């Protein structure tokens, strides 16, 4: 996911820096984006906003390496704490991974970009039935929300604010449904999109 999102954001003119558990992969991404690679702490201190994109099993170790480098900064969380045997959330009931990240880092977390596979973000723009893909996002900090809204727009999506960070739990649960469908053999471009009467033809 980080590869595709970073590629699109670099093309939109954003200056990027990347860190990863595997230095060679991080270096390769930095070269691809025309950016830089560094340690987790260096990257955290570099950016105006950070994307955290890791498997949930590695989240604790990643946050430990970041330390307090993201304190007070906007953070986009696109991760899904979903186990793939029964496709259920592994987080404490009623508490999201986004809230855990916010508590651990002291940053301003926005939950976003967690409801589709990376394939979708290779579409320019992501259109389904002649409608832009609606991208739900939620958080508490106005500046972090505004920056995330712009990043979603830079990907060609339609930003859809859904409230404060308490709603991140619902986005993660929705992702569990999407992931179960994908593992069940659905096309990798499978998404849920927002439809209303104004965007569809209705015969009298």
62, 68, 71, 73: CA torsion to nearest 10: -50
How many angstroms separate the Cα of 41 from the Cα of each of 19, 47, 73? 9, 11, 13
pLDDT digits (tens, 9 = 90+) for 66-119: 999 999 999 999 999 999 999 999 999 989 999 999 999 999 999 999 999 999
CA-CA distance, 168 to 194, in Å (whole number)?
18
pTM beyond 0.75, yes or no: yes
Q: What residues form DSSP beta bridges with 112?
A: 137
pLDDT digits (tens, 9 = 90+) for 20-79: 988 999 999 999 999 999 999 899 889 899 999 999 999 999 999 999 999 999 999 999
User: Quick one: DSSP state of residue 73?
Assistant: S
Domain locations in the chain as residue ranges? 2-195
Domain 2-195, what architecture? 3-Layer(aba) Sandwich (3.40)
Residue 161 · residue 149 · CB < 8 Å: yes
């Amino acid at each position: 996911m980080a590869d595709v999102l970073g590629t699109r954001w670099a093309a939109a003119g954003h200056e990027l820096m990347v860190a990863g558990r595997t230095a060679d992969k991080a270096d390769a991404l930095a070269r691809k984006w025309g950016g830089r690679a560094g340690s987790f702490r260096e990257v955290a201190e570099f950016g105006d906003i950070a994307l955290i994109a890791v498997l949930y099993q590695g989240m604790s170790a990643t946050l430990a390496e970041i330390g307090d480098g993201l304190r007070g900064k906007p953070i986009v969380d696109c991760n899904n704490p979903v186990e793939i045997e029964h496709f259920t959330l592994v987080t404490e009931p009623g508490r999201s991974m986004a809230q855990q990240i916010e508590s651990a880092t002291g940053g301003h977390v926005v939950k976003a970009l967690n409801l589709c596979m990376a394939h979708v973000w290779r579409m320019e723009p992501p259109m389904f039935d002649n409608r832009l893909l609606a991208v739900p996002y939620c958080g508490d900090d106005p500046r972090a929300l505004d920056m995330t809204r712009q990043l979603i727009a830079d990907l060609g999506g339609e930003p859809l604010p859904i409230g404060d960070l308490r709603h991140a739990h619902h986005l993660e649960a929705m992702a569990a449904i999407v992931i179960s469908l994908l593992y069940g053999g659905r096309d990798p471009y499978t998404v849920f999109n927002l439809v209303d009467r104004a965007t569809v033809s209705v015969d009298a």
